[in-house]
Structure 1
Amino acid sequence: MSTGETNAPGTALLLAAAPVGKGRLIDAARVLSTLAACPPGSLTRTAAGTIVELADPTDQQTVLTRIRAAAATPGPLTLLLAGQLQLDTRQGAIHMALARTTPSTVRYTGLPWAWLASELKPRRPGSTTLLVDLVATADTWQRIGAEGLTLGPGIALYGRIAPPPRRQRVTDPVYLQAVASIWRSGLTPPLAELHAKAAAQVGRPGALFLTAEAVSAPVPARREQPDAETAADPLPAILAAARAGHHDHAASLAARWEGWAVQSYGRGSAQAVQWLEVRADLARIAGDAAGSCELWMAAVDARLTRRQAPDDPDVEAAVDRAHHQWQAVRDAARARELGPRLVGLRRRVPGRRPGATEAVQRRLELLHTLPQALTGGR
């Protein structure tokens, strides 16, 4: 059949989103009417299927629910994403911005790229395709250049990521518009050929073009070690930079090595978790207690997800360090924000020190009773 590789009904989810106001870099929703005019089978790559459209949504949970529902369908799934990527600078996580996203609220108002990867991970390999047309903010562009952008094995990822436009211009999703133009002509070529045709039509100097799971020119996603200067044993050099006060440089090196570990061994691998813990310790050295606490809690979650036992020494050590850093947080609002998650982890991993869970609860109650009070708690 010309429209796909299977007779099973498919699903296509069209998500076009960008912030409202001066933070907008791309008129993402502009492409939806063009895609809607394409033969439905072109979008689903099947003879029959369902098309779901989300235009400038405002709520990350609503978007997650739609993605989760689409990911749960048994047939082929095609996601078409148009929008902009922004970085949560506190956690270093890439998000797809939604209508209400601002730089300071991206963690709560954007769609984390990691959520998308997590929802698609259980799907049968080879059944999921993403076509993306994205513009990245400046810091996000640097992160992608250093670490690449993937969704894991078994997922076909094609498209374009452009750097931020000059002079505050708002660009159009020209890559997906080119894809739609090809489909509207009556052609439904194989994905690699479709991508090549669209890229040839709209190629912008300096843009990243995604093919399958790799990022192509100018900076292909690499599996080799990320930095020759630290290739023999990277940790001593990274710690030396941190202790010399070069915190941004040390954090950047550690993030690149974590990205390499994720690409080489997987996000939940022991190697990736070890680099996550290095980043947590670097945040401590830099005096960022809240950031360190968040990263140590992420390490606890990762180790538990790897099915390490709650009484595993590495798990207990990670939650103890998260607890210690939380006690050092001097910003009451941040301490209140982090506290409930730490309580939940302490209940799962009480540790060897009696009363640790109760100590977190007492300090958290005090912070809510006396919002300006910041005590050590234990």
Structure 2
Amino acid sequence: MVDIVKKRRATYHLYTFLFSKIISALGANVYSFGISMYILSMTGSALSFAANLIFSIIPRVILSPIAGILADRFPKKVMVLVGQGGTILTISGLLIYSLLFDISVVAIYITTFFYTICSTFSGIAFSASIANLVDEERIQKAMSFNQLSISVSGIGGPIVGGMLFGFVSMEWFLFINILSYIVAFLLEATMNFRLYTKQLDEPVSNEESMIQSFKEGFAYLKTKKVISRIVIVSLWLNLFLSSVSVGINFILVEVLKVKYSLIGFIEAAAAIGMLFISLYFATRSNVKYPLLFSKRALFMLGILVGVMAIPLIFHFSSTVLFVYFLAVMFSFGCLTVLTNTPIMVMMQKDVDESYRGRIFGILEMMAMGLMPIGSLIFGILYDYVPAQIILLFCSAALILITLVAIPRSLIVSIYPDLKKNTRDIEQPLFKNT
């Protein structure tokens, strides 16, 4: 009877989580798009726009490990709600300022800075809580719902943000954004973040220093060979995939001269691909060999980066070019989710509850830390090196990292039953259940 009640509660959590994440992610994308457009319209400066982007990255890089430590020390529900509450107060502060004074770029920068801090703490605490909210069999569905929310917000954020920016004042824009976060806050307040909690073997002492807690997180990571490999792969993956995020618009606009009206459709194709695969994961059974599954997807992702270089080597007509990049970006979105979801499910299951916050904090720090570095490196390289050479180099690097960091011997050591039937390792990506 108790198990039935818990499963019903877990079902409630699953769909509450979905709606909460969609509302929060959509609100974040709407805010980001609207504020970016406002800065550009007010200043006309790309540097001012880039500065706001920096204020949305640096706090996350610096504070992610601290957020992970606090998530292991304090109730995760409290952290999630305090973070969401801080987001509401931060945007409310900008709204009040805009009503009393004329809104300024400096006020937006300050808001972005504190907004990022609050979302970092709530986001990491929420990520570390998923295995406590639902039963083990539905962690994959929860993670696919998380990707689903990102996809929906990626598609809808610019559309809703553009409509609001075009038809309502900045004050109403901020007010609508605040309402979305209040709804998400109320939904999350109804969730039991300890539904599937386990007895902590090594509870984190509040008397322990932050530095010591951080060191213990790294020491624990070293004991988990597979998780440490995942962290390393994520580090390099984000670096070399910056070549796509930085270069795709440069390639389409400056090199291939694609019409501006078509570029939006090409970018939206990636979000649609993410949505498609998120729905696939939400309806399928759990992946039997998640690391093997992700390795295949990552290998294909590396090949796809090289495929992007083909129109830079051979001449395509404008129509073929548009359809080609539409298919490439759709595949890129698909493979991103196919790589990430099984890995995140694996981490939710394999990382001990008492260390989950710190491990997710370390992963976030490393992933986000190389994004500005990668953006800077590839931003400079695209001005001096032919784009096809950059893409082919990054493609080769991603394939090499995949083969070296996730060798066949590691996969067989994790899944011993693969030794009995080596054909399982050669099965197609979607056959691996």
Whether TM exceeds 0.5 here: the answer is: no
Q: TM-score by structure 2 length?
A: 0.27
Q: TM-score by structure 1 length?
A: 0.29
Which protein has the bigger helix share? 2
Higher RCO (C-alpha under 8 Å, 6+ residues apart): 2
